[in-house]
Amino acid sequence: METAIEVQGLRRRYAGRGAGGAYEAVRGLDFTVRRGEVFALLGTNGAGKTSTVELLEGLAEPSGGEIRLLGLDPFRERATVRPWIGIMLQEGGLPSELTAAETAGMWAGCTTDARPADEALSLVGLTGRADVRVKQLSGGERRRLDLALALIGRPRVLFLDEPTTGLDPQARRTTWELVRSLRDEGTTIVLTTHYLEEAEALADRLAIMTEGRITVSGTPEEVMAARPSRIRFLLPEGLVPAELPLSLPAGVDGRQVEIRTQDLQSALTELLLWARGRGVALEALDARSASLEEVFLEIAGAQRESGRLAAMVGKGAAA
Ligand SMILES: Nc1ncnc2c1ncn2[C@@H]1O[C@H](COP(=O)(O)OP(=O)(O)OP(=O)(O)O)[C@@H](O)[C@H]1O
């Protein structure tokens, strides 16, 4: 598969951050985004996602490393790259007195080979709101207008920064469908989102960032496969934990039993055969594969813990 974006050793340092001095928000990233895929960049607040995406968009110069977007440097060759990319910003900042149609028309007027304004509004389901002023649109509708504007230039690479924040569940699903159909038409999409089910639903590949570095990357399946699945149920009345199958190491808290396994199907089969053999029912039985959310929370938890330990060590050193 062809490469759309190639990133090597990417760094971004902000000069003078209050009393704290310079701060390096992006600390040596290497990744590739293939043509026609959805690539999601995930991470906790302040992990460095926006700082990274701004570099990919050519809005700032890296302090180290290299980016090739469709073969060019997006900062130095911005004039050439700009028409190829569509950017949906977190805060639209649109003139509030214009209607949705006027806003899209104005945008189309500044764009070569623009998609007609009404087509862009229709893609995001705003046709019925075309004559409403921006200031009277709901937060979710404004978000969809931001997306329509990002699509007006028929971008080859589309950057979506938290595209469904504030959207109701139905509008979110419609946006997902649109993202999938753009991808199927060959658009490369870089997505940042805090909704992990969104990343799971849309991303062909993803990377989780922590403190300016990529901690985990791969397809959602690869990222989740590294974590154990979980089976939970209530210990049947009259049984003690020692009577549970020995081959399935279980954690028991009161009546709540939890088994963690890398092979959910075998463990579940064994558990159900055991239950049938004992003639017991497993109340509140719940078996599930690791979700992206669990992987994310584990990484974020480890990061918080290491930050806490570093602070304790720092305090100890200062004392
Ligand atoms: N202009 C700036 N000057 C100094 N520091 C900055 C600047 N912009 C961002 N930072 C810092 O860089 C770090 C990364 O910020 P960034 O906005 O890239 O994170 P993020 O992952 O996009 O977070 P969020 O999920 O909250 O949007 C943060 O610690 C932030 O305070």
- pLDDT tens digits for 65-103? 999 999 999 999 999 999 999 998 766 578 889 999 999
Name which of 18-22, 102-106, 261-265 the model is least confident about. Answer: 18-22
Residue 112 confidence class, pLDDT cut points 50, 70, 90: confident
**pLDDT tops 90 at residue 158:** yes
CA of 46 to the centre of ligand 1 (A): 5
Work out the widest C-alpha separation in the chain, in whole angstroms.
Answer: 75
Question: ∠ CA(124), CA(127), CA(128), 5° rounding?
Answer: 125
Complex-level ipTM: 0.97
Residue whose CA lies nearest to ligand 1 atom number 6: 14
- The whole-angstrom separation of Cα 43 and Cα 214 is 9
Percentage of residues in the chain with pLDDT exceeding 90? 69
Going from the N-terminus, what domains does the chain have, and what CATH number goes with each? 3-224 (3.40.50.300), 228-288 (no CATH)
Place of tokens 């918080």: 304
DSSP string covering 209-235, please?
Answer: EETTEEEEEE-HHHHHHTS-EEEEEEP
Please give the average per-residue pLDDT across 219-231, as a whole number: 88
From 10, 11, 23, give the residue whose CB has the most ligand 1 atoms within 8 Å, as the site to mutate: 23
Query: 319: which 2 tokens?
Result: 């004392």
Residue 319 confidence class, pLDDT cut points 50, 70, 90: very low
Name which of 173-182, 276-285, 309-318 the model is least confident about. Answer: 309-318
